[in-house]
Amino acid sequence: MIPASMQLTLENLREITSDIINKSFPLLRDKKIFVFTGPLRFYAFSVWIPPFFRIIVISVKTREFDRKVLTGLIVHELCHQERYIEMGTVNYLVFAVNFLILKRIRSAEEKATDRLTIEKGYGRELYELSSITHKDSKHKKINDLYLSLEEIRAYSESLGKWN
């Protein structure tokens, strides 16, 4: 657990990711996922370079996020990785090209990933994360790709996962 006064390190981030995988992602337990930090305009991204490289990069601007918000971000990115596995290699490669060029594909992927995050029981964490991202002026252009705060809460409640 990260003490409130301690700044997040890459080691902490990797430990949190490992804990979440062990708790909520049985499909990812035997996969090597490389976690890095870097200066990004957005908060994180997740990519699979078949057949072996699964990568999550978390923005350095998340250093001050509390554990609940970080958990929401990491779970969302891990949900992408789980979805990639379920696609299979060929479908993933087609998806990746379409993701880069078609906004409707990006939107469908991000919203499906948000829904999977909620289905795994992390609706409140996603809500806390989205409360930050939806207020970020640098994130405004892409906020419509994700579920809104109201949609996150409504879907969580409909599943009985908004305790």
Give me the pLDDT at residue 8, please: 78
Mean pLDDT, residues 114-120 taken together? 98
d(CA 163, CA 152): 13
Say what the pTM is: 0.94
d(CA 138, CA 126): 19
How many degrees, rounded to 5, is the angle at CA 144 between CA 66 and CA 100? 95
Q: What is the pLDDT of residues 36-95, one digit of tens each?
A: 999 998 999 999 999 889 999 999 999 889 999 999 999 999 999 999 999 999 999 999
Residue closest to 143 by CA, chosen among 43, 32, 25: 43
Residue 2 has pLDDT above 70, yes or no: no
The sign of the torsion formed by the CA atoms of 74, 77, 81, 87 equals positive
Higher pLDDT, 115 or 140: 115
Residue closest to 149 by CA, chosen among 121, 123, 120: 123
Residue extents of the structural domains in the chain = 10-158
